[in-house]
Structure 1
Amino acid sequence: MPSHRATALFVAALVCTTSLSSSGLRAQTTVTSERPASFTLDNGLQVVVIPDHRTPVVTQMIWYKLGSADETPGKSGLAHFLEHLMFKGTAKHPAGEFSQTVRRVGGNQNAFTSVDTTGYIQRVPREQLPAMMEFEADRMTGLILKDENVLPERDVVLEEYNMRVANEPDERLTEQIMAALYLNHPYGRPVIGWHQEIEKLDREDALAFYKRFYAPNNAILVIAGDVDVKDIRPLVEKNFGPIPAQHAIPEKRIRPQEPMPAAPRTVTLSDPRVEQPGLRRYYLVPAAATAATGESPTLDVLAQLMGGGANSYLYRALVIDRGLAISADAGYDGTALDPSQFSILVTPKPGVEFAPIEEAIDKVIADLAQNTARAEDLERVKTQLIAEAIYAQDNQATLARWYGGALTTGLSIDDIRSWPDRIRAVTAEQVRDAAAKWLDKKRSVTGYLIKDTAPKHKEKRS
């Protein structure tokens, strides 16, 4: 999740960042939505049904347990490339038919690739769900790829890279920070891929990846909306039930892991297109699926204390008290299979150097690591987080994202629903200890975005 936290995405990620409980006891919950039903087909497809009867609309999301971190080394961008190619049609449904049908019935669709997951989404009137499910089941195994549509799509992805990364200094800095933060883990590869490797991807690469990972036992189907599980189960069994499991897919994804961080790192990106310099610092921290009990919600609370709005400690120190910055933010992305990131983002005021900003950041962290937060501050941020989570349940698509994102990265339905109570249970001592343990500079990469003002050298003509 981007750490600059657009509200909807931020809340969705927050509610998926529940630590697993070693006690095995089911926590109380303040989640107000109806509990989802869940069942698994004989072929391994897990299905989650989230009733929401307020409007006759349904959201279908299928989540595959593969992302950029699962790619073959040397073929970065393959998961994202295949996501594009999944719209190229099957023997039963030629290219464009699926998308045209969604538009014709007044629905919308989307797809995404992340480090751990790939997903496909349709939101349509309730009565159109059977058609959507038939389309989605068909392309789980029926994809047909030809060079005449694969190679042009590769050019589309390369142009996307140029637009989203190569021509965006802010994104290029993030790309470089991630590559420096992960010395060994594939999270250091950009989801869209490295340009020189995208250029070499071909039909055979895509088909091999598709056949390796696209299977019912490597997917979770989430249906949210005006539906009942008694009607959904036979529909799912009809469409997905005949698809055989792919038994070569391991039950657990094993990736290279990070060594113990030994030294802080810095990255400086200089670009003539930079209009506003910026500072980013990323720390390597545990994700919800692998964190010790209570650690992940504590990191959520710590991020909100440090950078969640105008009353946060970083904002007060940098923007209000010292007037060094225009904005200051912090975020924690706990929705991942493997070690994730705690981020700090600061936009300096014009003419302000990075040194005093870093000094102020370090002081905020040192204070948090040595002293417990004030009780009123702790209660304020916990109330904010819990309220955001509860209000966000009014969005059907958000509910589908919560459960899909969490379940594909090792969490459970109970983990999601008990998240507000885990937030409420966080103590000031836990926050202090988390700041001391995880916001150690040795665990960090600091990135500087600056404007390149060097004059361009003109070519000499003979």
Structure 2
Amino acid sequence: MLRHLAPLAAVFALVAPAFGETAEEPVTTYTLDNGMEVVVVEDHRAPVVQQMVWYRAGSADETRGVSGVAHFLEHLLFKATDNLESGEFSEVVAANGGEDNAFTSYDYTAYYQRVAADRLELMMEMESDRMKNLRLSESDILTERDVILEERNQRTDNNPRSLFAEQMNAAQFLNHRYGTPVIGWRHEMETLSLEDALSFYGTYYSPNNAILVVSGDVVPEEVLELAKKYYGVIPANPDLPERIRTTEPPQTAARRLTYKDARVAQPYVSRSYLAPERDPGDQERAAALTVLAEMLGGGTTSFLAEKLQFDNPTAVWTGAFYNGKSLDKTTFDMIVVPSDGVSLSEAEAALDEALAAFMERGVDMEQLERIKMQLRASQIYARDNVDGIGQRYGSALAIGLTVQDVQDWPDVLQAVTADDIMQAARDLFREESSVTGWLMRDTEVTQ
């Protein structure tokens, strides 16, 4: 493959190997001469390897008016290239006993194959081919546009919870593209064109905008040689735009919404707050918020469960969620599902009372230690499969974090103090930066 590409002078700058916190997860990094990052995570427990290519381009990098084009292009990358027929990529992976897929987020798009270790070269040959040699037709556009519209039908339009979450995001982010759904707004998806797809492809699908993560039964030096052979010959994009995002203005007014739908099986209250993300070399606030989410809503032993499900049973379920792994500001979310006979207004009041009680009581030190132990255990278990390993490093590097940040994260979490958590909570729970939503049946009243 790639016969038509002229060989380039291969001068590759090697970054000093970086090793994980234990010998079980050695990590080696390289940078190819064309700017592509290569991350190799060795795990010799099984003769399996996973290749992932992460592009620093997701739905939040789209221009206005073409929402969904990043996800649309993800689908289109399984069409024909100079060397493969449409659909042949996945057929070859399956014929070699492997599995492949792809996914799009706000901040990145990733493609992966999981195969026997001796099939890595074939995977690199095919993946590098579609980095620059995609061949699309108008027929491909029409066919795959119908596919993504049907995907939206199934996952969003037919699910009132998804439609509600979409509206919550749109209300939370006044100016940032995180307020636009990854799959896109339907009316814009319907007009996505060949030109839209090729424009996004030509702008962002280049080695200097990509990270190769190979995890499993591999030797770093051998991975590097294969990366040189297949990815290293692809020219960098000299016109790759700087990754500049619109920023949120100061949020000075609390927002509320109600979403009514006859299909709602269980009404509930949702509350989100604008929250800081994990930043390179500065992960302490995100770590405190991660622990706070577990403390407030991480299961039946959490504070919200104690107050709303057991002490004064106004809810059948409560939860709190935070994921700081984003390029820009994210959200901290809570959900209260009221018990039978409890109105949404009463459930919301109970949530406010519980949060006030938590701010007054402070951190339960026994609970804090238990949460830290659970987090440490989950991080150890995450090393047991090549998919989790590749995801952890790829998703971090795609948003600007470093290998060192990934390796430091477990210790940063363990260093979180009660004072850190309470300061994070005080900074977070600003009514002005909140959105409160009620998901309800269309026959219900709002009081």
**TM score, norm. by length of structure 1:** 0.90
* Percent identity over paired residues: 46
Q: How many pairs align? A: 426
Q: Does 1:100 align with 2:100?
A: no
Q: What is the CA deviation profile of residues 317-346 of structure 1, one whole-angstrom value per residue up to 9, with x for unaligned ones? A: 111111111111111110100000111122
* Matched residue, 1:414: 404
SS in structure 2 opposite 1:406?
A: helix
Q: Does 1:38 align with 2:38?
A: no
Please state how far the C-alpha of 1:419 moved relative to its aligned partner.
1.2
Please state how far the C-alpha of 1:410 moved relative to its aligned partner.
1.0
Please state how far the C-alpha of 1:363 moved relative to its aligned partner.
2.5
Conserved? CA contact 1:368–1:435, under 8 Å = no
* Matched residue, 1:457: none
Residue number among 251, 254, 257 corresponding to 1:267 in the alignment: 257
* Matched residue, 1:223: 214
Q: Does 1:196 align with 2:187?
A: yes
Unpaired runs of at least 5, structure 1: 1-27, 455-462
Q: Distance in 2 between the 1:34 and 1:426 partners?
A: 24
Q: Which has the larger displacement, 428-437 or 167-176?
A: 428-437
Conserved? CA contact 1:282–1:445, under 8 Å = yes
Q: Distance in 1 between the 2:228 and 2:282 partners?
A: 37
* Matched residue, 2:270: 280
Q: How do 1:110-125 and structure 2 match up within 5 A?
A: 110-125=101-116
Q: Does 1:437 align with 2:427?
A: yes
Residue number among 232, 248, 259 corresponding to 1:258 in the alignment: 248
* Matched residue, 2:320: 330
Residue number among 369, 373, 376 corresponding to 1:379 in the alignment: 369
Q: Distance in 2 between the 1:364 and 1:226 partners?
A: 49
* Matched residue, 1:9: none
Residue number among 267, 277, 297 corresponding to 1:307 in the alignment: 297
SS in structure 2 opposite 1:244?
A: coil
Q: Distance in 2 between the 1:124 and 1:348 partners?
A: 46
* Matched residue, 2:395: 405
Q: Provide the aligned C-alpha RMSD in A.
A: 1.5
Do the aligned partners of residues 358 and 81 (structure 1) sit closer, same or farther apart at CA in structure 2, a change above 3 Å counting?
Answer: same
Q: Does 1:214 align with 2:205?
A: yes
Q: How do 1:147-226 and structure 2 match up within 5 A?
A: 147-226=138-217
Conserved? CA contact 1:53–1:226, under 8 Å = yes
**TM score, norm. by length of structure 2:** 0.93
Whichever residue aligns with residue 57 of structure 2, its letter is L
Q: Does 1:55 align with 2:51?
A: no
Q: Which has the larger displacement, 281-290 or 102-111?
A: 281-290
SS in structure 2 opposite 1:72?
A: coil
Whichever residue aligns with residue 90 of structure 2, its letter is S
Q: Distance in 1 between the 2:281 and 2:410 partners?
A: 17
Unpaired runs of at least 5, structure 2: 1-18
Q: Distance in 1 between the 2:249 and 2:187 partners?
A: 27
SS in structure 2 opposite 1:259?
A: coil
Q: Distance in 2 between the 1:35 and 1:338 partners?
A: 29
Do the aligned partners of residues 369 and 437 (structure 1) sit closer, same or farther apart at CA in structure 2, a change above 3 Å counting?
Answer: farther
Do the aligned partners of residues 452 and 255 (structure 1) sit closer, same or farther apart at CA in structure 2, a change above 3 Å counting?
Answer: same
Q: Distance in 2 between the 1:353 and 1:54 partners?
A: 53
Please state how far the C-alpha of 1:191 moved relative to its aligned partner.
0.2
Whichever residue aligns with residue 140 of structure 1, its letter is M
Q: Distance in 1 between the 2:179 and 2:410 partners?
A: 31
Residue number among 313, 334, 350 corresponding to 1:360 in the alignment: 350
Q: Distance in 1 between the 2:297 and 2:22 partners?
A: 25
Q: Distance in 1 between the 2:254 and 2:102 partners?
A: 36
Do the aligned partners of residues 288 and 347 (structure 1) sit closer, same or farther apart at CA in structure 2, a change above 3 Å counting?
Answer: same
Q: What is the CA deviation profile of residues 338-397 of structure 1, one whole-angstrom value per residue up to 9, with x for unaligned ones? A: 000111122222231122222222223223334431211111111111211112111210
Do the aligned partners of residues 292 and 104 (structure 1) sit closer, same or farther apart at CA in structure 2, a change above 3 Å counting?
Answer: closer
